[in-house]
């Protein structure tokens, strides 16, 4: 599986934007970039995913580099509820292909 690299931790203040980076230099043409987050003792929660173009949804935005070797998850205005571990995961969209979790980024949000 193609590997991703994320910073171990990041800090933010409430109401400020947060940019969470992810490097995936060995990404293949059929890999989608997925972001999930996990709060303590809860199941991972889908955030956003994309292939080549930047994506926006109600939770976040995903900016994908032109060469697809890196991406950035953008939380436009962090809240205390956004404090979680964020995982950047590459996944082929063949049926049954699982998400393989690596080391994510622990985001702390201060008031």
Nearest to 75 by CA among 42, 103, 43, 48: 48
Nearest to 105 by CA among 21, 14, 1, 13: 21
Of 16-24, 59-67, 72-80, 87-95, the window that binds another protein (rule: CB under 8 A) is 87-95
| Interacting residue with another protein among 43, 66, 67, 111 (CB under 8 A) | 43
Q: Choose, by CB under 8 A, the member of 13, 26, 92, 110 that binds another protein.
A: 92
Q: Does 99 bind another protein (CB under 8 A)?
A: yes
Interacting positions 47-76 with another protein (CB under 8 A): 49
Should residue 102 be labelled a site residue for another protein when binding is judged by CB under 8 A?
Answer: yes
Q: What Å distances lie between residue 29 and 4, 26, 59, 64, 68, CA to CA?
A: 15, 10, 26, 13, 9
* Per CB under 8 A, 3 contacts another protein: no
Is residue 8 close enough to count as binding another protein by CB under 8 A? Answer: no
**Residue 105: partners with Cβ closer than 8 Å, 6 or more residues away:** 6, 7, 8, 9, 10, 20, 85, 86, 88
Residues that bind another protein (CB under 8 A): 38, 41-46, 49, 85, 87, 92-104
């Amino acid at each position: 599986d193609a590997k991703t690299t994320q910073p171990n931790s990041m800090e933010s203040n409430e109401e400020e934007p947060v940019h969470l980076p992810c490097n995936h230099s060995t990404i293949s043409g059929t890999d989608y970039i997925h972001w999930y987050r996990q709060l303590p003792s809860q199941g991972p929660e889908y955030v956003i995913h994309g292939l080549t173009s930047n994506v926006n949804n109600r939770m976040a935005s995903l900016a994908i580099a032109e060469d697809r070797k890196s991406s950035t998850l953008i939380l436009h205005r962090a809240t205390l509820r956004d404090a979680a571990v964020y995982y950047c995961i590459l996944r082929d969209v063949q049926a049954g292909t699982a998400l393989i979790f690596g080391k994510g980024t622990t985001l702390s949000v201060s008031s």
